[in-house]
Amino acid sequence: MRIVMIGTGYVGLVSGACFADFGHHVTCVDKDKSKIDALLDGKIPIFEPGLDALVESNVASGRLDFTLDIASVLPEADAVFIAVGTPSRRGDGHADLSYVYAAAEEMAPLLRDGVVVVDKSTVPVGTGDEVEAIIKRTNPSLEFSVASNPEFLREGAAINDFKRPDRVVIGVNDDHAEAVLQEVYRPLTRNDAQLLSMSRRAAELTKYAANAFLATKISFINEIADLCEKVGADVRDVAKGIGSDSRIGARFLQPGPGYGGSCFPKDTLALLKTGQDYGAPLQIVDSVVQVNNRRKLAMGQKVIDAMGGDTHSKTVALLGLTFKANTDDMRDSPAIDIVKTLKDAGITVRAYDPEGMDTSKAVIDGLTYCENSYDAMTGADATVIVTEWDAFRALDLDRAKELLKRPLLVDLRNLYSRTDVEKHGFEYVAVGR
């Protein structure tokens, strides 16, 4: 099977490399010359564990390559995946589909009969219809199908998620598209992965419903964490107590500084917009978005409160900037709001992140970027763990105490036990405990 991946970002590069690893021949295309040049030079433009080795071995086997030139590869393709970005449209929260539609326009004259165009980007219901219309308009005699195959991988665990998915959703309106996608994913079905076939529209909506439901679980446990703090219960016990009910499930019940990332924030907004457009308002999702926005803003104040409200000439060490561990992605990271609140209060912020420093520099300025955790903590009045990187799980607290002006640890990811931290002479503030 010859596959072309349009868009070589987090999803396109991981999916392309995994498809190649399954044995398909894959060409990843991007408009960003620096990305393609880096890949052709053997460099991976993003941080994703295991991706460098996977790309290297598949390039070496001749099954994976990269190009800026779609005209050189599209005429041979059996399946063309669209994996371009669908960010929030400024102003109304609707998904910005301009990259998807531009990709459809560009590919239309170059496709061959029998090709299946597969949308892997997260797109609102009906986008597949529009992609089909664009291709038909530009190339009326072409025989082709348009399918939806939303992606459920998480950054930081992307390769494992892709290769061992709970399910693969295939949204098709014709048998040919179904047969081609079955063939693309056949290596996975050998591992008993579920392939769920449904209509294109159902597949498009499934992706948003999944992300909105996961975001709901997180906002729910974050509110329960707030209540725990008031009533004197430990949210970890409550999460375990409810999560062990298989109808609820234990995952995505970790309280924290609010969800961020390239997807939950924008996808919940886009789903709300779809609900409005179709006259079926989604009040639960609306509340989830509001709870999360408020939470991200409240976290900086939580730090200030932990310091006793005194912000004069104070310095805070921030450990972690990315929206979660094992990624360099800063999109909608809670760190952005936390830094803003601290800086607005006149606090100096010293920060360190194992992989996110470069991406952060493009998003947050006015910080002192530090060499490591201990450098960040030097002279600080409080240390805040924002991201659950492994590097922050076993800090040398004795060394930290020597460096800090005040041994106060605000642990927004609940990485530590209160007794352990207090044993080292620290004050400890966590989430929902």
Point out the residues that are catalytic. Answer: 263
List the interface residues with ligand UGA, window 256-315 (CB under 6 A): 256, 259-264
Identify the three-state secondary structure at position 148: strand
Taking the complex as a whole, the smallest distance from the CB of residue 322 to ligand NAD amounts, in Å, to: 12
**Choices 27-35, 51-59, 153-161, 418-426 (CB under 6 A): range interacting with ligand UGA:** 153-161
Residue holding tokens 């929206």? 323
Q: Is there a contact between 5 and 81 (Cβ–Cβ < 8 Å)? A: yes
DSSP states along 241-259: HHHTSTTT-STT----S--
Identify the CA nearest to 388 among candidates 334, 426, 316: 334
Taking the complex as a whole, the smallest distance from the CB of residue 45 to ligand NAD amounts, in Å, to: 8
Residue 337 touches ligand NAD, criterion: CB under 6 A: no
* Binding string, residues 128-167; x marks residues near ligand NAD by CB under 6 A: -----------------------x-x-x------------
Among 94, 120, 273, 324, binds ligand UGA (CB under 6 A): 324
Alpha helices, DSSP H, located in 139-261: 158-163, 175-189, 200-231, 235-243
22 vs 47, beta carbon nearer ligand NAD: 47
The H or E element containing residue 303 is: helix 283-306
DSSP states along 269-299: HHHHHHHHHTT---HHHHHHHHHHHHHHHHH
Q: Which does 79 bind (CB under 5 to 8 A by kind): ligand UGA, ligand NAD, none?
A: none
258 vs 265, beta carbon nearer ligand NAD: 265
Alpha helices, DSSP H, located in 51-108: 51-60, 98-107
Cα angle 361, 364, 368 (rounded to 5 degrees) comes to 70
CA distance 75 to 78: 9
Q: Which does 253 bind (CB under 5 to 8 A by kind): ligand UGA, ligand NAD, none?
A: ligand UGA
Residue 7 touches ligand NAD, criterion: CB under 6 A: yes
Residue 214 touches ligand UGA, criterion: CB under 6 A: yes
61 vs 290, beta carbon nearer ligand UGA: 290
Q: Is there a contact between 171 and 199 (Cβ–Cβ < 8 Å)? A: yes
263 vs 430, beta carbon nearer ligand NAD: 263
Among 47, 185, 208, 323, binds ligand UGA (CB under 6 A): 323
Among 85, 255, 256, 300, binds ligand NAD (CB under 6 A): 85
Alpha helices, DSSP H, located in 41-165: 51-60, 98-107, 127-138, 158-163
Residue 149 touches ligand UGA, criterion: CB under 6 A: no
List the interface residues with ligand NAD, window 92-111 (CB under 6 A): 99, 102-103, 106
Q: Is there a contact between 397 and 426 (Cβ–Cβ < 8 Å)? A: yes
Taking the complex as a whole, the smallest distance from the CB of residue 357 to ligand NAD amounts, in Å, to: 18
Q: State both tokens at 119.
A: 């949308």
Taking the complex as a whole, the smallest distance from the CB of residue 80 to ligand NAD amounts, in Å, to: 11
* Binding string, residues 8-37; x marks residues near ligand NAD by CB under 6 A: xxxxx----------------xxxx--x--
CA distance 148 to 415: 39
Q: Binding residues for ligand NAD, per CB under 6 A?
A: 6-12, 29-32, 35, 83-86, 99, 102-103, 106, 121-122, 151, 153, 155, 262-263
